[in-house]
Every structure is written in C-alpha cells, then in structure tokens.
Amino acid sequence: MGPFEYFEPETVEEALSLLRKYSDTAKVCAGGTDLVVRMRKHLVNPQFVIGIAGIRELDYFRFEDDEGLRVGCLTNIRTIERSPQLQERYTMLPQVARQFGSIAIRNVATIGGNLCNALPSADMAPMLIALSAKAKLVSIDGERIVPLEDFFTGPGKTVLRADELLVEVRVPTPPPHTSGVYQKYTTRGGEELAVVGVATLVTWGSKDERCTDVRIVLGTVVPAPMRAKEAEAILKGKRIDDELIEKAAQIAADESRPRDSIRGSADYRREMVRIITRDVLRQAFERTQSAR
C-alpha cells in the first residue's frame, strides 16, 4: 500500500481546501474499511489521502422537525444500528445496519463512506433512496443538495466532484403507517457482500386499506442502486394481496440488470430478485398492517 501523503484536517474548511488543492490525486478516507483494502490491492493509488475521521463535527445525527433526520457523514453504521431513537423513529435504518458487515466493521465504517464508495452492493443506499434521502455535498464554492436517487451513476461512480465532500445525509420523516424492510441475499450467509439487495418502503392510507405509496429499490443487481418504478406503479393505490405482490416482484426482477459473476449467474440472480422482493414486500405489508 502507498506511498501517499496523509493529511488530517480538523475542520470541514481545511478538508475542503485540501480537496480543492489535490482534487483527483487525493482520496478522502473516513473509516477506511473499503478504501484501505482497495489501496492495498492497488485498485486505487492516491498520492494524497485526506483522513477526515478527526473532524468530530461530522459525527452526529439529529432530528429536525421540519426536515426529519440529519446524519453526519462520519456517523458509523454501528451507531445507526444501536440508537434507540432511530430504532423508534426510523426502524428501517437499524434494520439495514444490522445486515452490514460485522460488528467490528460497523464500528468503523461510516454512512458517508458507504455511499461515496458507491459499490453496487453498498447496503445503506437502497433504503435511503426508498426514504427519499438527500445528500449534502459541499465544496469551497458552496453546497448543493442532491437526492440520493440521483447520486449514484455507476459502479464506484457518483455525482460527487473531486473537490466536494459529502457531509450530511438528510432523511425526511416517513409518513404515518409506513414501514420499510431491507434484505440482502448472499451465497453463504455470514459476513459477505450482497448478491441481491432489495429495500422496500410501504405506506398505507389512513382511511382505507390501499397502499398509498411504495418504494422498491434494488441494489447489487444494477450498476447503481435503482428504483424498480414499474413494480412500484402496479402496487401504488391498490389493495394489496399476495397475487399482486408476486406480480410486482416479477416486474422488479425484470427491471433488474444482474450480470454473470462468481457470485451467481444473471438468471439466478434475477430469480433471487423476484424472491427477495416478494419477501420484503410481504414483510413490509405485514408490518404496516399489524401497526395499524
């Protein structure tokens, strides 16, 4: 690994000026659980590494009444998993976090790092997209807010510019009678990357038993996490039964674009998208109904 020069900015401003200066010769390192592995394999060979772990102001989450949850990019996955407040108000996020790596990884890996590395198998992304989360990106020139749905552009690729830092994730408060479920499917069971990852978020109307809104977001089986909009469309506004769920799952599978890999052939993975989508939809519907 290396060689590279290492910087430890203590403020966001310092980090931004380093980013402006070194641009794409630099890599930002938060927890490093992805980056260190990739540098060791020489998949990336930055000349400069900007270690932001010391910028304590970026390690937080808080609730703002008008805009919901705000999570600083340095918040680690274990914090999300263990927070009683998140457990109460955003149950689906701890549920995702628990499926992420192992405890020792979750203790270090950050939400910002997971999103910016943009692996198709990144576990946090699908649910955050389902929740209509946005990312706050800042540079010396200012800031911009980008919906996470538009953030990812391909495997390892995002709209983040070389001089920008993702500093915060904003997650709107889910409407009442909403529940979300994420499930990853792997080849063994254990600490491993997803072969298929599906997040769903379901909202029921307050009066009748129709589903007023639904999100189905696919991970891993697409170059970048993606909403299965056609599948969503056939559920939205409908009374939901098992037949409809089966149908939506099939459509989601058709919308996925898995590739052949050592983790499974495209055909198999597509079929697993169907099964996992069906299972998460069932679970989400059951949860919302039992909560009503």
Partner 1 sequence: MAGHSVVGKSIIRLDALDKVTGKAKYCEDLKLPGMLYGKVLRSPYPHAHITSIDTSRAENISGVRAVITGRDVPEKRYGPSVFDQHTLARRVVRYVGDPVAAVAADSVEVAERALGLLKVEYEKLPAIFDIEEAWEKNPPVIVHRDLPKYELGKFPPPRLVPDRPNVCYLRTLRHGDVERGFKEADLIVENTFSTTRLQHCPFEPHVSIAQAESDGSLTIWAGRQSIFLARQYLCKIFNLLPSQVRVIASHYVGGAFGCKVTLYTEPIAAMLSMKTGRPVKLTFTREEMFSSGGTRIPFVIRIRDGVKKNGTLVARDMEMLLGMGAYAGSGPLITRNCIYATVATYRIPDAKIDAYAVYTNEPPVTSFRGFGSTQVLWAVESQMDVIAEELDMDAVELRRRNLLEEGDTNITGEIVHSIGVRECLDKVADSLEWGRRSKKEVGPWKRGKGLALGNKYSMAPTGALAIVKVRGDGIIEVHESADEIGQGCNTVLAQIAAEEFGVSVDEVKMVWGDTAFTPYFSRGSTSQRTTFNVGNAIRLACQDAKRQIFEIAAERLHEPPQDMDIKDGTIYVRSNPSQGMSITELFTSERTLLPGEFGDFVEKSAEILGKGVWVTRPAPSDPETAQIPENVARMGGRLAGFFGYGVQGVEVLVNTETGEVTIEKVVAASDVGYPLNPKMCEQQIEGGVAMGIGSALWEEVALDQGKVLNPNFGNYKMVTSMNMPKTDNVKVFLISAPHKEGPYGAKGTGETQMTPTAPAVANAIYNAVGVRIKDLPITRERVFRALREKAGE
Partner 2 sequence: MPGEKGIYMKQRLELKVNGQTYEVLVDPWQSLADVLREELGYTGVKVSCNSGNCGSCTVLLDGKAVKSCIMLAPLAKGKEILTIEGLATESNLHPLQEAFIEHFAVQCGYCTPGMILMAKALLDENPNATEDEIREGLVGNLCRCTGYVKIVEAIMAAKEKMKVTSSR
Where does this chain bind partner 1 (CB under 8 A)? Answer: 1-3, 41, 185, 187-193, 262-265, 268, 271-272, 275
Q: Among 15, 16, 27, 33, which residue interacts with partner 2 (rule: CB under 8 A)?
A: 33
**Distance (Å, whole) CA 257 – CA 223:** 8
Retrieve residue 198's tokens: 């599906």
Which residue, 122, 135, 119, 125, is CA-closest to 93? Answer: 125
Retrieve residue 210's tokens: 């129709």
Count CB neighbours of 143 within 10 A. Answer: 12
Q: How many residues bind partner 2 (CB under 8 A)?
A: 32
Cα angle for residues 100, 213, 125 (degrees, 5° grid): 20
**Would you count residue 187 as binding partner 2 (CB under 8 A)?**
no
Least Å distance, CB 47 to partner 2, is 6
Q: Among 10, 40, 147, 260, which residue interacts with partner 2 (rule: CB under 8 A)?
A: 40
32 binds, among partner 2, partner 1, none (CB under 5 to 8 A by kind): partner 2
Q: Among 107, 139, 212, 289, which residue interacts with partner 2 (rule: CB under 8 A)?
A: 107
Q: 5 or 141, CB closer to partner 2? A: 5
Q: Among 32, 126, 197, 219, which residue interacts with partner 2 (rule: CB under 8 A)?
A: 32
**Distance (Å, whole) CA 203 – CA 121:** 25
162 binds, among partner 2, partner 1, none (CB under 5 to 8 A by kind): none
Classify 150 as helix, strand or coil: helix
Classify 210 as helix, strand or coil: strand
Q: Among 11, 12, 14, 48, which residue interacts with partner 2 (rule: CB under 8 A)?
A: 48
Cα angle for residues 128, 111, 24 (degrees, 5° grid): 110
Q: Among 65, 66, 142, 190, which residue interacts with partner 2 (rule: CB under 8 A)?
A: 190
Which residue, 71, 199, 231, 82, is CA-closest to 131? Answer: 199
Q: 29 or 73, CB closer to partner 1? A: 29
What are the Cα distances from residue 35, in Å, to 41, 196, 201, 267?
Answer: 10, 22, 30, 31
Q: Among 44, 105, 146, 275, which residue interacts with partner 2 (rule: CB under 8 A)?
A: 105
Fill in the per-residue mask, 8 to 27: x = in contact with partner 2 (CB under 8 A), - = not in contact. x-------------------
Q: 148 or 195, CB closer to partner 1? A: 195
Least Å distance, CB 41 to partner 2, is 8
**Would you count residue 3 as binding partner 2 (CB under 8 A)?**
yes
Q: 213 or 271, CB closer to partner 1? A: 271
Least Å distance, CB 284 to partner 1, is 18
Give me the sign of the Cα torsion angle 277, 280, 284, 285: positive
**Would you count residue 47 as binding partner 2 (CB under 8 A)?**
yes
Cα angle for residues 18, 23, 25 (degrees, 5° grid): 105
Q: Say if CB 284 and CB 181 are below 8 A apart.
A: yes
**Distance (Å, whole) CA 182 – CA 200:** 6
**Distance (Å, whole) CA 204 – CA 243:** 18
Where along the sequence are the contacts to partner 2 (CB under 8 A)? Answer: 1-6, 8, 29, 31-33, 36-37, 39-40, 45, 47-49, 51, 53-54, 78, 101-105, 107-108, 190-191
